[in-house]
Structure 1
């Protein structure tokens, strides 16, 4: 731990001692099963893939850790969490890479003017210098890892934040649109000269999925080859399994237009369900059931390499 980290922790402890008062507690081969799971919770992405949905996903994930004991320096929910460890863990679950300590997290994302402008999922920072962070729930409530002797809890905001930061998209805006940030990667248009660019752009507009994401998946799956068939039987540009293609209404997976349309619809549902690009990609590769079972990207070398490769393509773009 660096000197600045130690200094921040000392400030955190000093400030928390002043707060000792009662507070309210309160793979392509998986596509067939993946489609069934994805469809079960999917509505229209254009209506639900919004900043509000992203913020709600942050809050829902944070609620999982209510009751975890406070441990100074804790980053493992099995052992305990401190305030910034909680915030970092929640956002990491959703594919966002945040700094480790509270004063750094108070500079992440974009500034929000006041609590009146805050939306669920925003990071609340307290103190100057910042010594404490929490996750805004709404209705003047927050989820925090408060101090030694107390567990992660839902409770009222007991002092005015000195900073409010927003990492997810703004409420009412597309989470995967032409200039949105998904899982820390800005999604948008594809570069000139990209194969099948017009198909990716058209599907992006139709389903609210970044055209560059569709292009990156096609590159990883088939190298933009619409005639390729995998040893497992996945077909075409987007490597759809026959059962998955049928469920998506794709009658010919070797037809690039049909393949891109079907894959865009599937990715849209996965983005809406899991709230981050890396988790959606993991579900595209290994199936939603695997992502849910491991509460994140499954520990499969193929899936981890797949997610890493696609995300690298997005970042390079």
Structure 2
């Protein structure tokens, strides 16, 4: 078992690694150790930086340029959807999370959550290196701004982390560094509580289920709530004339294909719907087309090359988009 001398030596080593000014620790290690006063002082100094990190603040001196440098370390890493391990691959939000984490800042995992971190930047002209650029509504892609209309991102399957031009106007630009206590950044322990208060889901039935499934499948929980609103008015026992069932109005064959055993169970229904929407968003890369596919089937969207000319589907897509806007999505 390590004695006090060994512990103090380790603390000194940690201070050096964390770039904590060593003068205080030096005084502590040379002072009398009776009563544990020196040990407590040294321990307090050694853990000060980590405590700041755990509450969401940045390491001393961290800048947007540091975020850019951290992100560039992953250039060439292949894109793997859902992966947070650089050895295996990264997706877009994992790259952003990883770059900030390397500086001691813990951001949420998903792109739609990262699009709410920090504080709002008005437009690309006001953006600074290190800012988070988010794209589409609902958000399904993020990148880190480099300046000069360039960004670093993990773009898509079959690609890799690379520098590219900002090819379209971001729907959100967020600045984490330079905001008080890195507003919007949360620790892993605090994240579930923060998620429960995210966006416009306060008071929405089954909000926890939408948040959980949204995080699991990288789908906006507000979108899931909007679909449930239009499909069933949040009624888990609803049955349509066509035979669609439950909160998310899944057809029995569709439910079976998604692994949903009971469409009347809200948890299973929301999980299945989130999986289905994630697949449609990935396939069609368009919210209106993904919603059309949810309503009429992906085959119909392919057949007609867009939203099928069915009265129900033509009305359904704008209804969900309107409900989504009302939820702040």
TM-score (norm. length: structure 2): 0.44
Greater relative contact order, per chain length (Cα 8 Å cut-off, separation 6+):
1
